[in-house]
Chains A and B, each alone.
Chain A
């Protein structure tokens, strides 16, 4: 078994790493989702490679063929694709809402705003007392 003969697995691993890197390294929420999608798609490739047998055909019984590829891996991946799409859709919907709420989809800017909120809460809790004796409901 030589290393180049397994080129499909090499591609899978490279794609996984690219996707993973994008998720970790990028600040932009949309880019992160793109990375996530690449990461998931690489796994789909992996499953499909596993099911393929060299010189084999689709699993339709016929006298001319002896070898058949495994169709189950493809069925599994159909399910996984559906899951992947729903995740991406939900993620994008969240990004839209985040953009509406924060006016930004850059992680560092969002974090700055969150820290600001947090500081205000702390000031209210530990700061001068009477100033904040207000009604809340």
Chain B
């Protein structure tokens, strides 16, 4: 049984998704989805502990040996992310039932859970697989189901947002298969490990270079790197709140993982740094993204859209960590992936609770809610503080490591810019605080109460995780460091 954990991780949600359609009764489906997601979480715990004890796990699909068959390869990096994704997904699903019943008509509940589990399958598959083409297939599974999740939103703008995401996402995915095709043409293999061994002989080839170019552009579309982020703000703003919480916490992180995997495990860091000035490109785009998106966030009226822009900015920080190109920089990126998932999960769930109570996510409708929904608002503020990077929150830990890595590289002007950009985060979070606590209500709030416990518990679970991992960094920093070391090929 334990030998089959890598495949069970993906198969369990994959098989559960169509089963949802047979269960039909919304309440039953929701409990079933929580159980499935929790099972996936337990499996990922088992996987991570196996990886920590015995090193990389290799699973040959159907018993076919690696270069011919598809292989699943779990190392520290994806073991750690599998744990994160399944954990966040479970917590989000606990809050889903009540939130969905308010936001979606009853006949669509089952479809929502089906799409959700399929999306989870896709994300877990991307993480677990060790095959370049298989990765594309899972990428499309997760993408297609997230288009569906987004289109389920109430507002008609959800439809156009989903359409736009579909167009851009498909272009990104097609670029990725062009890259895979070019590499297959040169090496005759699709297995990532095998590719990594065969590519160094043909580094000079222009085909490999163009394969790499297609990859980078394709993946950057998927991870919404500025200026390829145009699909993201509307998609997050108009999707059902639960879908936003799930996607914001997981999908872009997984895309960043794909980028890291390709750069470090397939092409190798020497090729990447010597062939094209990727570091400079990432530095420029990362910084531009941080500033442009943070400034945009300040002017948003819809809080979901506000935090969506802030997500684009946070992706800028992750890319900045990659641009540094040192072990410390990669550690900072990995840490921020984990920490940002916790922040955005908590924030979007809290916004989901607001939407549950007042059926709106407009900033002006939040006025006066500080008294009516104190716990939810406290969660939003704590999440906001974490985004700014206030000490004792996870945001501080990852920014600290990022700044240390920048100083270590000698890029102190960039470090100063990173700190300045935190001030922009202060501005948009303060704007929120001002509306919530210091503005008289704009709509009648007499009957508004605190969010139900089924939502408050998951929200605060994530908020407390924000605080806990901000103080006790042994797990996050420890695993990130080890993963970064192994990606740089240094044996610990």
What is A's interface to B at a CB cutoff of 8 Å?
A: 20, 23, 29, 32, 36, 39-40, 43, 46-47, 50, 70, 73, 76, 79-80, 83, 86-87, 90-91, 94-95, 97-98, 101-102, 110, 114, 117, 121-122, 124-126, 129, 132-137
Contact = CB atoms under 8 A, between A and B. Distances in A.
Contact of A43 (B181, B301, B364): B181
Nearest to A35: B167
Interface in B336-365: 357-360, 362-365
Given A39-B171, A90-B147, A132-B442, A121 B181 contact: no
B437 interface: no
Contact of A98 (B147, B163, B174): B163
Contacts of A98: 156, 159-160, 163
Contacts of A70: 188
A90 B144 contact: yes
A73 B151 contact: no
A32 B148 CA distance: 19
B362 A125 contact: yes
Interface in B125-161: 133, 136-137, 140, 144, 147-148, 151, 156-157, 159-160
7 closest Cβ pairs, A-B complex: A125-B364, A101-B156, A135-B444, A83-B140, A94-B163, A50-B185, A98-B159
B148 A90 contact: yes
A87 B444 contact: no
Contacts of B181: 43, 46-47, 50, 73
Chain B interface residue bracket vs A = 35 or more
B178 interface: yes
Nearest to A83: B140
B177 interface: yes
B170 A133 contact: no
A29 B442 contact: no
A90 B171 CA distance: 15
Contacts of A117: 157
B201 interface: no
Contacts of B25: none
B271 interface: no
A94 B166 contact: yes
Contacts of B148: 90
Nearest to A33: B167
B444 A133 contact: yes
10 contacts: A47-B177, A79-B133, A83-B144, A87-B170, A90-B166, A122-B301, A125-B363, A136-B360, A136-B365, A137-B358
Contacts of B365: 136
A97 B162 CA distance: 11
B151 A97 contact: yes
A116 to B, nearest CB: 12
A136 B160 contact: no
Contacts of B444: 133-136
Contacts of A76: 133, 184, 190
A87 B442 CA distance: 42
